[in-house]
Amino acid sequence: MFTNSYRKRRAKVKVLGVDHIGVAIPSRLENLLSFWFTGLGLDSSDPEVIPDQQVETIFLRVGGIAIELISSTSSDGPIAKFLEKRGPGIHHICLQVDDIWGFLQRLKGVGCRLIDETPRRGARDKLVAFIHPSSTGGVLIELCQSPPQ
């Protein structure tokens, strides 16, 4: 049973929805992209390189959320290490939030292990921060907040 103090703590900031599911791929192989584009008929964003994360991303729209295909631009980047250890597949789930700073403070306050203590710029010019899988039951969670309009 949840206590009243728990309910009060969680009421201050909100998850607005699932923004995207990140899928690590070994490279932008044409046969793999053909599945997503031609096979499923999904529209995509233009490729975007994020130098500080050593990745190239492409977003595919599926209803109200997206699938982010992520490939490494470096042999020693985080996605390259993920692929080496686990192989291609789901990398993370990203939740759109209304106040990323507030969420990080709340998560730190309840003892969550954070990969990013402060947000940074991610793909599509969003602020992003990752929560360590050890605090989420084994799932890498990304929080994102859209830039002001």
Average pLDDT rounded to a whole number, residues 113-123: 96
Q: Strand, coil or helix: what is 85?
A: helix
Task: Specify the pTM.
Answer: 0.88
CA 51 to chain centre: 16
Distance CA 12, CA 98 (A): 10
pLDDT tops 90 at residue 104:
yes
Q: Which two tokens stand for residue 11?
A: 């009421």
Indicate the residue type of 14: K
Confidence band, pLDDT 50/70/90 cuts, at residue 31: low
Show the tokens assigned to 55: 């990745």
